[in-house]
Structures are given as structure tokens and as C-alpha cells.
A and B are shown apart, each in its own frame.
Chain A
Amino acid sequence: MKNAVGRDIPEKILKETKKEVFKGTYVKDNYEYKKGAPKIRTLSDPTRSKLVKDIHEALVKCGIKDGMTISFHHHFREGDYVVNMVMEEIHKMGIKDITISASSLGKANDPIVPYIEDGTITCIHSSGVRGKIGEAISNGKLKKLAIMRSHGGRVRAVETGEVHIDIAFIGAPTCDDYGNMRAVGGKSDCGVLSYAMVDAEYADKVVAITDCLVPFPNIPASISMVNVDYVCVVDEIGNPQKIATGAAKPTTDVRKLMMADYCTKFVINTPYFKEGFSYQTGVGGASIASTISLGKVMEERGIHMGLGLGGITTPMCDLLERGLCEKIVDTQDFDLGAIESIKNNPKHIEISASEYANPFNKGAYVNKLDFVILASLEVDVNFNCNVVVGSDGVITGAQGGHPDTAAGAKCTIIIAPLLQGRIPVICSNVTTVTTPGETVDVVITDYGVAINPKRKDLIEAMKGVDLPFKTIEELRDIAYKMAGAPDPVEFEDRVVGIIEARDGSIIDVVRKIKSRT
């Protein structure tokens, strides 16, 4: 059955998942539902300890068994050890048929691939996957369908009860013996624990894993002891060097700087660029460069950002320090500068992933965004974006907050080079739709700027603005003229994963890649 972005979703998949096809970004506004709830085992005897001696004991006490759903967060990014440690122990115990529900998985988690192959792990829910896990799923090694959800979509799935987490393992930079977790003050600081908050509230069993046990009470806590069953101390929860890198040097790539300048010029000519505007960017070189160049204009004109949202990097914190930004509201820290900022600056505030982006609560921060500046692997002539599946058909990225912020922001801007190597980023049809074109307003490339034709107001606002405006089809044609039109990647019929829209409907499917000889 064809969905609202023209993708044919096989009946078999709709039946198997009991899901609907995507019908539009805002069709579930005003939707009523009753939340799911965890099963709680109380602790009222003050002499009972939550400390367990190792992960094995935690698993035993939590009643690990075949078929369970185990959850993780990805705040330790490419430095994460927690997923691998826990899965290694589950594997050793001979447990099978585990569903991993992760806020995201990266290359750091490559070591779990053998557990996919031997049936320890049979299902993965994530915002995306990179490295060998992506290759394994695209080659059909995972027994059940992989489900890719945005950050907001994941919270929705857990809060509605669609996903029920049996045991949540939450890596915590610091924790006390009663389970109060903080993301700062330890040896592997990650700044915030936003993505893990829903796990703590909705999982039947919650295990804190830390490498820095601190005296009680460890407050103000990101995750409170009232939701934590056990505390497990290990030697290392991650590699601090990979959890928080130094601030990325501002890009010197002239192509990216040019696109950043185009972006700033576009932003300041919209009606939304006024005192108190709200803003989010991704962490690509061009996005960060556009924050820096926008800062200069803000200073010149005396315009202040009321809210800086999202995954945070040093350039955003610099705006806060300089008094150009009033508040930073944070769900993920990408570098040491961002972590230092949340430790020291009271105007830099941690929120939950639900507050950030959940489409099924009573209003999330993304709905209040004026601008979001994002990247994309591919954008097609219908403005649909693909941020999950590489142009070669292999899963290699993550939705993250892309669909959430695009749906929420008044002005969604994609910055992308026209060609990535030889691959046209602007194309006729994206390999996989992960963010619907109806939520994408502007595409900025090194060869021109295209405004979504349905945004007549933005087209009007840009009259007389000196930018190389083109239609999206013109951009595609330039790309194909330089690189040649790409041959379509060949897939087999078997569906290996589904891409969920924010509301849980199916926006696209990912098929097994044809074996290549």
C-alpha cells in the first residue's frame, strides 16, 4: 500500500507489524491514548542494598530470560562500553532471542555482531546503526525486522507501551549506592542523560552501571533513585577520549564555508530572525560554521537567540557565554566544551528526550523551534530526506532528531553538498525516505539554494536577496550532468527493517541488499 510519500509498503509487513502506512506528519495531532506502565518491585526495607557485584548478578536478579527487551542509551557515543559488556554477559549465559532497544548504536558496538549471527540478538530498535551492525542488518543477518525510530519516536513507542522494556541498563558517569545518576563529576562525563530518562521511567527493571560510585546523595540527579533497582560498579563504562572529544576545529573547507554563508544569509532574511528566536543545528562542519557566522550578524544587529536547542557543541555555548543566547536546552553533548558549559553555566539546562521531541506528549521543545539546520545523505526532488541508508543501500546512519526537528521548526534548512564524491546528494528519488519532504523548507547546496514550492511565504521573503536560487529539479539536473545519473541499487524482496515516522506509522522499508560478487 502506498503511503503519503509515495513508498509502497508491503501488505505482509503491515500485517506483521500491525502498523499503518504514513499518512502525513500531523495527522495524529489531538490523538488520545493511555500510557503504558512498568511493573514495580518496591523497596521499603532500609537495610536492603541495591549494589550488585557484577553485571551477571544484575542480570540474574532482574530475571533475565529468552525473548526479553533490553535497553541502552547512546550518550557515550563512539566510546561506549556498556552495550558490549552487557551483551557479552547475556551471550555467556546462553540467553537467546533478545530485542535491543537503544536510543542509537554506533561503530563502538561492532562487537555485538556475532550475537546477531548466533541468535542471541534477534531484533534491534534504534535511531540508526553504523558500522558492522548496519552491514549485518542490510545483509539479512538479523532474524526479525529492525525498527528505526527518531529520538522523539522512540519515546513515543515506549510511553504508549508499544515497546515494553524489560531491563534498562543505564551507563552513568556518576552514581550513588541508591541509584541517583548524574552525567558529570566522574571520569567518563557525557554531560546529560536525556535519552535514558524514558527508559528509567518505563522499564520494569532499571540497572545503573557506573565506574564512579559517589557518596549519597548524588544530586541534582539526571535519573532518580526512585526508578532504579540495582547499581553495578564496573572498571570502565567507556573510553573518555571517544565520549567527549575536544571541540572540532571550525571547518576551513571553502565549500562548507560558502554553504554556511548562504545559510546565514537565508536565515537573517526570514521573518523569524528577530529578538528571542529559537534555533538548532546538527553537528556537521557546515552547520557549525553557520552558527559561527550567524553569531557575527546577531552581534552586529543586537539580536539575541532566546533558545538554543538540541545536540550541543562548543560554538553554541560560546553564544551563551557572550550573552547572545539566553538559554541552552540540551539533550546531548558532542564535545568537552558543551560538557563544561552544562557543568558551569546555570542557563544551560538538561531536558529529557520526551521534552525534546516526543510527538505524543502535550507539546515538545521542537514545536517551538524557529530554525533547524540539518544535513542529509540524500534529498530528492520532493524534498524527502534520507539520513539512514547509504546510497549503496547499506544502513549507515541514524534518524536522530532529524524528523522531529524538521516537523517542529518553522523553517527547516538542509545543508548538503550537491555531490558527495561522485554520489549526487540531490537526486530523483532518495534510497529510503526518513524525513518527509512536507517538513523540509529549504535545501542549501554549493551550487544553489532551493525553496520548497509550498513555502510561498519564504519565496516571497527572499525576493531581492542575493542568493543563487534554483529549483530542486535544476539542482538535481546539475548533479546528474556532472556525475551521470546513478544506476538504482539492487535489493532483494526481503524487508530487513522499517523506518518509522514519528507517530509510529511506516514511512519506508529497508530491503536486503543483493549479494554482490
Chain B
Amino acid sequence: MEIKKAASAGTLESSDAQITVEPNKKGINLSIESTVINQYGKQIEKVVLETLERLDVKNATVSVIDKGALDCTLKARVECAVYRSNDIHDNLPWDGAIK
């Protein structure tokens, strides 16, 4: 998918993450801030990149502000932000691109 405009999903509540996606010319430009960066920084990066790949997002600037979200939450927030950037709100591909 293409990131057509800036969009975000999630909150700054504890155990959540706020994910913002913006258009980028070439490649993925990822920044991560997290309250658990020392213990889970690599894990967060891996989950976000995997989710983007699954959604076939090749070019995006992605910012993650994580407050200790579990992997399932991170995935859901990334998926939501990407679909919002495409203004897709209905008929989401559950069990397809969205897992």
C-alpha cells in the first residue's frame, strides 16, 4: 500500500502506542520512542517493520511513541494508521492483510 497522507492511530496511554505514518519518497524511515526501549526496542522495531511489510508498505516515514504496548497492540495501531492514510474505513481485509 501507498501512504497517501499523514495519519495516526493509538494513544499515549500506558500499554498503548501512538503510531504516525507519513508519505516518504524512498524506503521506510522509522523512529521509535519507548518507555521500554532498553528491554524491547529491537522487538518493537521488528514488529513494526514486519507489519509494514505485510501491508506492502514500501515508502513511509513512521513514528512510534510507545508506552509499553504489547506486540498485538503495536500491529493493530500500525495497520489502523496505514488504512487511515488511504481513507479506507470499511470492508477491511480481516484475516488477509490484517491479521
Contacts and interface: CB of A to CB of B under 8 A. Distances in A.
A516 interface: yes
A393 interface: yes
A290 B35 CA distance: 30
A423 B68 contact: yes
B12 to A, nearest CB: 13
Interface in A377-392: 391-392
Nearest to A513: B38
Contact of B36 (A422, A482, A490, A516): A422
Contacts of B38: 392-393, 487, 489-490, 516
B68 A487 contact: no
A274 B37 CA distance: 48
Contacts of A489: 38-39
A486 interface: yes
Interface in A480-503: 482-484, 486-487, 489-490
Nearest to B68: A421
Contacts of B98: none
B43 A484 contact: yes
Interface residues of A, number: 14
A422 B42 contact: no
A360 B2 CA distance: 70
Contacts of B70: 422, 482-483
A421 B15 contact: yes
Interface string A415-458: 00000011100000000000000000000000000000000000
A187 to B, nearest CB: 37
A447 to B, nearest CB: 14
Contacts of A483: 40, 70
A391 B35 CA distance: 11
B14 to A, nearest CB: 6
B71 A484 contact: yes
Interface in A390-413: 391-393
Nearest to B15: A421
B39 A421 contact: no
A421 B67 contact: yes
Contact of B68 (A393, A422, A490, A516): A422
Contact of B39 (A482, A486, A516): A486
A422 B69 CA distance: 6
Contacts of A393: 38
Given A421-B14, A421-B15, A392 B67 contact: no
Contacts of B41: 487
* Of listed B37, B39, B67, residue having the most chain A CB within 10 A: B39
B14 A487 contact: no
3 residue pairs, one from A and one from B, having the closest CB atoms = A421-B68, A486-B39, A422-B68
Interface of A: 391-393, 421-423, 482-484, 486-487, 489-490, 516
8 contacts: A391-B36, A391-B39, A421-B36, A484-B43, A487-B39, A487-B40, A489-B38, A489-B39
